[in-house]
Amino acid sequence: MSQTASRRIMQVLAGERLWPPPVWMMRQAGRYLPEYRATRSKRVNFLEFCYDVELATEVTLQPIRRYGFDASILFSDIFVVPDALGYPVRFEEGRGPVLEPLSDKLVGNLDQKRAVGHLDPVIEIVSRLRRELPEEVTLLGFCGAPWTVACYSVAGHTTQEQTAARIGAYRNPELMQAFIDQLVTASIDYLVRQLKAGADAVQIFDTWAGVLDDAGFRRWSIAPTRAIVDGVRAAVPGAKIIGFPKASAARLADYIAGTGVDAVGLDWTVPGALARDVQKLVPVQGNLDPMRLVAGGQALEEGVDQVLATLGQGPLIFNLGHGVTPDADPDNVARMIERVRQAPDPLQAS
């Protein structure tokens, strides 16, 4: 067995059921850690921080050193792809990403060749991480799903339930399609380069998939993701890809069939019975409510136990149902990992 195949998360992505299940957290490198905040203070501009090979490598490794997670996920941001294409992006304190409102002119000026060189530092970070991570730790790359990235472009920022993006897609589907197509092309190249640089698997984050109606979900979430999956596997046969269509519980089976992903992330609202049905189709990842990490104590213990009781009999990667929040207690993260790793195997119970 190759070193890559022997990594525990890669075994689960291949369909194996392991006990205890491997564990990592979305946004595990972030503001809840004091060491992250200290490193982050060295760069005022967030995008520059994402492209800084030394600093981004350091913060990616910090949670591995502290907690010994089974996977390390590249520290970056979904908006490096439109930024690399030449789409104006900036981050404002207290507001997050701000993009220039979508227009034919902006889409027409996007430059795939520019994206390649612009993302070179991120690919170097991936290479550096694979060299510095412990051999047994899975390295995950990622990108934002085109729909989620595009959501921030119509109004120039996020809006409640992404109403601006939905209206924009209804009124001018040709413009939305043109932008989505550019993002698909760039995302394929980006993920392929991550995999060739040392990532073991990649995840596609579709945080805003759940705001779409059925037709929109098929066109703007499933179809672009399928194109990315097919494009990546054409260049890297057998590439393992995790999809995370947040707030899409009732559509997960359609998403799996339509996209061809190897595993799906479950947010914390996915009902247990449905989650078990999904697990019969592909390995699952999730789905502890991140607020239980904030609350701690009994709420955290009960949440961990419930995820393990619900999904522990099949292929499971223990994770949160979304990213860890800045107000999470680092000690609670340690308690979560300890409880997962010390939990009795439900298949061995008398």
**Does 30 appear as a known binding residue?**
yes
Task: Tell me whether residue 128 is one of the annotated catalytic residues.
Answer: no
Task: Tell me whether residue 36 is one of the annotated catalytic residues.
Answer: no
Q: Say how far apart CA 347 and CA 17 lie, in whole Å.
A: 11
* Cβ atoms of 80 and 122 closer than 8 Å: yes
Q: CB atoms < 10 A from the CB of 72, how many?
A: 25
- Which of 32, 36, 67, 152 is catalytic? The answer is 152
**Does 28 appear as a known binding residue?**
yes
Task: Tell me whether residue 152 is one of the annotated catalytic residues.
Answer: yes
Q: Say how far apart CA 160 and CA 208 lie, in whole Å.
A: 11
- Which of 77, 189, 200, 289 is catalytic? The answer is 77
Q: CB atoms < 10 A from the CB of 157, how many?
A: 16
Task: Tell me whether residue 27 is one of the annotated catalytic residues.
Answer: yes
* Cβ atoms of 110 and 172 closer than 8 Å: no
**Does 7 appear as a known binding residue?**
no
Q: Between vectors from CA 282 to CA 346 and to CA 142, what angle results, nearest 5°?
A: 110
**Does 322 appear as a known binding residue?**
yes
What is the three-state SS of 53-107? HHHHHHHHHHHHHHHCCCEEECCCCCCHHHHHHCCCEEEECCCEEEECCCCHHHH
**Does 157 appear as a known binding residue?**
no
Q: Say how far apart CA 241 and CA 264 lie, in whole Å.
A: 9
Strand order in the sheet with 284-288: 71-73, 138-144, 201-206, 240-245, 263-265, 284-288, 316-320
- Which of 8, 27, 193, 339 is catalytic? The answer is 27
Task: Tell me whether residue 90 is one of the annotated catalytic residues.
Answer: no
- Which of 17, 31, 233, 341 is catalytic? The answer is 31
Q: Torsion-angle region of residue 222: left (phi > 0), alpha (psi -120 to 50) or beta?
A: alpha
Pairing of strands 284-288, 263-265: parallel
**Does 335 appear as a known binding residue?**
no
- Which of 40, 130, 218, 233 is catalytic? The answer is 40
**Does 77 appear as a known binding residue?**
yes
Positions marked active-site = 27, 31, 40, 77, 152
Binding residues for substrate: 27-31, 77, 152, 207, 322
Binding residues: 27-31, 77, 152, 207, 322
